[in-house]
Every structure is written in structure tokens, then in C-alpha cells.
């Protein structure tokens, strides 16, 4: 099994440990921002989730390219795993975003470019998973879902700029310029970013393993 490989087990334990430390650090180790108070703490979860989500979809696009050019199953597996994990983190972004926005902007949803891009990518991937489940011929589904992963990510800058031009008054992302942050916020943020990325890679290797096991099971029946 997956965790019989000692390396995987240690990685999992390290990931859990890091996550716990990171959470403690966010609650007790970061300074309070005066006008946001506790609400600002979600920033340390929201932004790293978004980073992992986009990274994941980016890898899904690269895997899509590699699958189409090499036709190797491992790229299809990586692509699927990334699509799943990316969607999980994008849902976290879409949940934490409104939680953060409610006290800051006074309402849960504002058509802000980053949030909107996340929402649209998320919706595109809903279509991706529908293709995966109801597409029919599996060999063809692999190709079409690789194509979806590619165009979904190519569409990201287009969505971002269109929303930016559409509602220029809504540029007020609560914490935009990272280089203007005091180090008291920046360092814990970077730590959180690292921890989330680490968890992402642990999840990815596990998910890839589960998908390939599933494949072997259905083929041997």
C-alpha cells in the first residue's frame, strides 16, 4: 500500500505537523492588523489556497500538453489528480473569500478580478469533471479533458483583464501589494505559502497513486 512505503508515511506526518505549526503561528505569531482585527487572519489561508489552486491548474495544463504529445497514461493521471486538488483548493478560496469580504467590504461578494477569475475557472472545471464522468469513450475523454485543461488555463489572463476593465472601481483587494507588507506579516505568509505547497505535493502523490490503483482494479475485473 501507499503508506507501506516509509517515505510517503514520513511525508504525511511532516505535512500534518507543519500544518498544525502553521495554524498556531497564524493565530498567535502574527500581528493584529488594526482595522481588520481577527478577520485578517484568513488571509494566511485564503491566498496560499489560491496559489495552490492556480499552481495545480497550471500543472494540469502542462500535463494536458504532455498527454496530447506523448499519449502516456501517467500524464493523464497527473492531470486528473491536479484537476481534483485544484478544484478542492479553489472551493476553499471561494469559501474563505466571502468570509473575509463580509466584514471588510460589508458584503460577501464583489466582482473583484481575482475572485471572479477563480469562480470562472472553478465553473470551467465543473464542466471538466462532467466530461470525465459522462463523456463516454474513455480514450477520447482523456484527450478532450486535456484540451479543456489547456484552454481553461489559457483563458485565465483573458478573464482577469476583462473583469478588471469591466469594474475598475473594484480594485480594492484587501491585501494586494505583498512587497508593501511589513515583515511581521510577510514572513508568516511565506511560511504558510510553503506549507500549503508542501501539502499540495503530498496530496498529489497520494491522489496519483489512488487513481492508478483504481484503473488497475477496473482493468483486472
Contact residues toward other proteins (CB under 8 A) are: 68, 71, 73, 120-121, 123-124, 126-128, 130-131, 134-144, 146-148, 150-152, 154-155, 158-159, 161-163, 165-166, 215-216, 219
Q: From the CB of 146, what's the least distance to other proteins, in Å? A: 8
- Quick one: 29 or 73, whose CB is closer to other proteins? 73
- Residues 132, 145 contacting (CB under 8 angstroms): yes
Q: From the CB of 207, what's the least distance to other proteins, in Å? A: 17
The Cα–Cα gap between 156 and 159 comes to 5
Distances (CA, A) of 166 to 160, 171, 193: 10, 11, 30
Q: From the CB of 202, what's the least distance to other proteins, in Å? A: 25
Q: From the CB of 140, what's the least distance to other proteins, in Å? A: 6
- Quick one: 21 or 151, whose CB is closer to other proteins? 151
- Residues 122, 87 contacting (CB under 8 angstroms): yes
- Residues 209, 2 contacting (CB under 8 angstroms): yes
The Cα–Cα gap between 21 and 18 comes to 5
- Quick one: 125 or 189, whose CB is closer to other proteins? 125
- Quick one: 28 or 134, whose CB is closer to other proteins? 134
Which residue, 105, 211, 108, 122, is CA-closest to 159?
122
- Quick one: 30 or 118, whose CB is closer to other proteins? 118
Q: From the CB of 220, what's the least distance to other proteins, in Å? A: 9
Q: Where are the alpha helices (DSSP H) in the chain?
A: 6-28, 43-70, 73-105, 113-134, 138-166, 183-220
Amino acid at each position: 500500500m501507499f503508506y507501506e512505503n516509509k517515505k510517503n508515511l514520513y511525508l504525511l506526518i511532516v505535512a500534518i505537523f507543519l500544518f498544525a505549526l502553521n495554524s498556531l503561528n497564524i493565530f498567535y505569531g502574527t500581528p493584529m492588523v488594526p482595522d481588520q482585527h481577527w478577520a485578517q487572519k484568513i488571509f494566511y489561508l485564503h491566498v496560499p489556497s489560491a496559489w495552490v489552486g492556480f499552481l495545480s491548474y497550471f500543472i494540469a495544463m502542462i500535463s494536458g500538453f504532455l498527454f496530447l504529445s506523448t499519449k502516456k497514461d501517467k500524464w493523464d493521471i497527473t492531470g486528473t489528480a491536479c484537476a481534483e486538488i485544484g478544484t478542492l483548493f479553489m472551493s476553499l478560496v471561494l469559501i474563505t473569500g466571502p468570509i473575509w469580504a463580509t466584514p471588510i467590504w460589508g458584503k460577501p461578494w464583489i466582482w473583484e478580478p481575482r475572485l471572479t477569475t477563480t469562480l470562472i475557472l472553478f465553473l470551467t472545471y465543473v464542466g471538466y469533471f462532467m466530461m470525465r464522468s459522462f463523456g463516454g469513450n474513455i480514450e477520447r475523454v482523456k484527450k478532450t479533458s486535456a484540451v479543456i485543461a489547456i484552454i481553461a488555463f489559457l483563458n485565465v489572463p483573458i478573464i482577469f483583464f476583462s473583469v478588471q476593465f469591466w469594474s475598475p472601481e473594484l480594485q480594492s483587494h484587501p491585501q494586494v501589494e505583498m512587497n508593501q507588507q511589513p515583515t511581521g506579516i510577510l514572513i508568516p505568509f511565506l511560511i504558510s505559502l510553503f506549507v500549503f505547497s508542501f501539502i499540495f505535493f503530498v496530496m498529489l502523490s497520494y491522489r496519483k497513486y489512488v487513481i492508478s490503483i483504481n484503473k488497475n482494479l477496473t482493468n483486472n475485473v
